[in-house]
Structure formats: structure tokens, C-alpha cells
Amino acid sequence: MCRTARSVEGTLIVVGNEVLYGDVVDINTSTIGKTLFQEGFLIARSLILPDNRSELAKAIRYWHHRSDFLITTGGLEPATNNVICDALCDAFGLQQVRNRAYCETFRKRINDAGLSWADETDLPEGAVELTMDRPYMGFRMVVENKPLYCLPGVPTEVAYLVEREVLPDLKNHYPERTCFKRRIIRVQRLSEWEVAKRVGKLDLAAVGVGYLSRIEGETWVTLTVCADNGNKADEFLNEAERRVVNAIGRKFVSGKDGEELEKVVGDMLRSRGMKLAVAESCTGGMLAARIISVPGASDYFERGYIVYSNKAKVEELGVNPDVLERYGAVSEQTARAMAVGAKEKAGVDVALGITGIAGPTGGTREKPVGTVFIGCACDDRTVVEHHVLRGERQIVQMRSVQAALRLLWELLTHDSSIHSS
């Protein structure tokens, strides 16, 4: 790792009782961390604190002295009486002053929401509103030559302000800094410990290696490097990626960084001029939703069938009632019939079928909760996989979708007989 370049590290303070109590899931930390990291700014720590003036003041004062920059999210709303402004003034011995431009922005924001607001808003002396082109709350200030940014709690607004306001300002304040780069290697079929065992044999002293088991059933290997410039960082990363992929086995690696399975299989289908259909029972449209989340999915996605009942499976897909009677709705035979039926009904090149028991009820000794069958009909052959997936209902559904996409990816990647019809 780099030892000579300047590392710029900041602290993020997330403000809100609703986050602490679990009513709201904090996604701002992820957004801010990713956006800043790719430009060489590290969020060294993130704290979640209540809407409490004294606690916030203590935390701001303490971490401001130990950070190169500080960011807060939340605590700017009327419901919290703009607690961040009070805490900042307490932390640094500042006075609050009237900011007319900020008041007008605040008033427009409230009025646009259909509410009335006639009060005035004070900001700590030296504070400057972050943006005038949108009615977003937020301001920045410099204390003891260190930048400090106070952002709203709304994720879309945070993403906009970090990209448009915070990042450019940080670049101006710290023009010389370490170049950090990170790469994610997406691994299928191998558990976190299996991946770590293979990669752990390598000597990657100059690269930070991490492992993450994703809830939907994918394992990530993260590679992090720092260097004095981007070219050196890319050189380190590319060599590390090559060695890690070889150690894992190329057949298990589906992509890197933002190459989700739905994007990878979509690109493969598009390049081959193939059309896809899906038939879903226990996942109720979740598979189709992931597929069409990719821009341009209309190039290869034809249609989806949600066939929850046996009647729907028969009427929409032509599944033989005798198959359902003899083997049950959750069976290899039914998954096969669903995939074949979807392929024939939609007139496509390839089709996926999912049927299973997502729970929490419906399981038996022979077919416990989490039993899922996935069929893939492609050209003149059909492959069916049997899974017993662990987790609550939504997790079983998520993992079923991932398994279906993984099956399609493997068939398209490793079976040379599959081609456009």
C-alpha cells in the first residue's frame, strides 16, 4: 500500500432518532463513502447519533480535531429544530446569524411539500448555503482550516449534494492526496471461506483484500490499493485481479465492480440476438424486476409470467395437470414444464422457471421451507436445479432469483451449444 502520499480522512455523523430506532435504514453512509473514495477521500468512521444537542456538540468537537473533514446528515429539519446548527455553535463557540437566501430555500422546500412555514432560519456564522439551484437544505463552513458539511437526511438529496457540492469543494481544499482505487470481483458458487482459502495463498502485500458474503448468494472479493497516481493504482489492481481470478478459478467469476448478473446475462443475450422469458411462482415477479432494472432490457427480455396457482400454471404455461397432481407444484418436473411452457408460449430462445416454498409455512419433511426448483429451457434442452435455501421468506426469494440468473449465466458462458435460434 502507498506510504508516501497524503491520505485525507473524514468523519461522518448520521443524525436521527429514527435511524437509531430502526425505523429508517441509513444508506447515506454507503453513498457518501463510495462517492468520496473514488476521488481519494476516505470516510474513516461513521457514527449514528440521536437528535440531541449536547451529544452532537461533543461528537462534532471531538472528531473535528481528529479528522481532515467532517460531514453530517440529518438534523436540519423543522421537526428537530435544526439541532445541527445549535450543536455546531456550541461546539465551536459560534453565534447564529440570519441567512436570507437559506431562509427562502427552506421556505420554498416546505411550501412545495404543501405545508406553510413562516419562521426564519439562522445558521452558524461563516456558514454558506450549499446550493441555490434546488430547494435542498444544507450548508458548508470552514473551522480551523478544515471543511465541514451539513447535509439533509434524504438519500436522493445527499447523493446530489455530495456529487455537486461536497466533492468539488474537497478537491479544492485538498488538491494533493493519495489515489485510492478499489475493485470488486464477483464470485458465484463458492462460499466466503472457500474463496478466502484460495486467495489467501497469494502474496498480495501491496493490496488490501476483503471478503464479503452477499445476502442474495454472491461472494465478493474486494481489492484496494493506493498509489501516488491513478496509473500506478491501475497497474497494481490489474495485476492483483489477474492473480486472484486465476486462484479462484475463472469459471466461478461472473464479473467485477458494477457487473451484476442481470447485466452480464443481458449483455450476453443481446450480443447473441436471443430473447428471454421467465415464469415465476414463489418469487412473484422479482426475477423479472431484476432483469428489467437494467437499461435496454427490452432488447432481449420478451415477457414474464407470474403463475402462483396451479390453475395459472396450466392456463398460462400449458403445464400438464397430471404433472402437478403426481409430483406437486414444487418439483423438478413442474419447474421443467414451466420453463418449457414459457419458452414455447412466448416464442423465445431461452426461458427460466422458478417454483418453490418461500415460507414461513408450507414446508414438509420431504420438501422443507426453502425448497426451490429452477428450470432453464434453452434451445432443445432443459436443465433443472434443486436448492434448499436458508433464510426468511424474502431472503429465500432473493436467493432464488440469484440462483436463476446464475444458472442462465453458466449455461450461456460454458455451454457452446447454446446459440441464437
- Both 233 and 96 in one domain: the answer is no
Q: Is residue 371 part of a domain?
A: yes
Of the candidate ranges 28-32, 142-146, 180-184, the one whose mean pLDDT is the lowest: 180-184
Q: Which helix (H) or strand (E) holds 278?
A: strand 276-280
Confidence of residue 177 (pLDDT cuts 50, 70, 90): confident
Instruction: Assess whether pLDDT exceeds 90 at residue 91.
Output: yes
pLDDT of residue 51: 94
Residue count (the chain) = 421
Task: Output the CA–CA distances (angstroms, integers) from residue 125 to 89, 94, 96, 421, in the order listed.
Answer: 8, 6, 6, 69
Residue 113 covered by a domain = yes
> Is the link from the previous residue into 124 a cis peptide, with omega within 30 of 0?
no
pLDDT digits (tens, 9 = 90+) for 199-220: 999 988 789 999 999 989 899 9
Site of grid cell 440468473: 405
Same domain, 265 and 410: yes
Here the cell at position 354 is 422458478
Render pLDDT for 239-251 as a digit per residue (tens, 0 to 9). 999 999 999 999 9
Check which CATH number belongs to the domain holding 248 and give it: 3.30.70.2860
Residue 362 vs residues 92, 324, 329: alpha-carbon distances, Å: 60, 16, 12
Look at residues 341, 336, 263 and name the one whose alpha carbon lies nearest to residue 305: 341
Given the DSSP bridges, would you call strands 253-256 and 179-187 parallel, antiparallel or unpaired?
A: antiparallel
> What is the predicted pLDDT for the residue at 112?
73
193 φ/ψ angles, rounded to the nearest 5 degrees: -70, -35
Domain count, the chain: 3
SS3 362: coil
- Among 256, 281, 311, the domain-final residue is 256
CA distance 8 to 369: 49
162 with 297, same domain? no
Same domain, residue pair 49 and 160: yes
Helix (H) / strand (E) element for 292: namely helix 286-292
Helix (H, G, I), strand (E, B) or coil at 57: helix
Rounded to the nearest integer, the mean pLDDT of the chain is: 92
- Measured at the alpha carbon of residue 275, what is the angle toward residues 274 and 278, in degrees to the nearest 5? 135
Residue 299: pLDDT over 50: yes
Note the pLDDT of residue 206.
Answer: 82
Q: In whole angstroms, give the CA distance from residue 240 to residue 192.
A: 18
Among 30-39, 120-129, 270-279, 303-312, which stretch is predicted with the lowest mean pLDDT? 120-129
Residue 245 shares a structural domain with residue 270: no
Residue with cell 440531541: 52
pLDDT at 116: 63
Statement: residue 348 has pLDDT above 90: yes
Please state, in angstroms and rounded to a whole number, the distance separating the CA atoms of residues 195 and 189. Answer: 10
Query: How many alpha carbons fall within 13 Å on the CB side of residue 144?
Result: 13
- Sorting pLDDT into bands at 50, 70 and 90, what band is 355? very high
Hey, how many other C-beta atoms are within 10 angstroms of the C-beta on 230?
Answer: 12
* Residue 183: domain span: 179-256
Which residue would you say has higher pLDDT here, 104 or 196? 196
Whether 358 and 247 share a structural domain: no
Q: Which of 8, 350, 390 is nearest to 179 (CA)?
A: 8
Round the CA-based radius of gyration of the chain to a whole number and report it: 26
The residue from 230, 256, 282 where one domain ends is 256
H-type alpha helices, 166-207: 167-173, 192-199
Mean pLDDT along residues 362-370: 95
118 within some domain: yes
Distance of CA 213 to the CA centre of its chain: 13
- pLDDT over threshold 50, residue 421: no
* Domain shared by 196 and 266, yes or no: no
Helix axes 393-414, 261-272, angle to 10 degrees: 40
Strands (DSSP E) along 24-121, which ranges? 41-49, 69-73, 96-98
- Residue 120: the pLDDT is 64
Q: Which H/E stretch holds residue 265?
A: helix 261-272
- Pick from 256, 273, 301: which residue ends a domain? 256
What is the pLDDT at residue 115?
Answer: 65
- Identify whether 421 is part of a domain: no
- Residue 135 pLDDT grade (very low, low, confident, very high; cuts 50, 70, 90): confident
Q: Lowest-pLDDT range, 38-42, 262-266, 300-304, 384-388?
A: 38-42
Averaged pLDDT for residues 83-93: 95
- CATH code for the domain in which residue 96 is found: 3.40.980.10
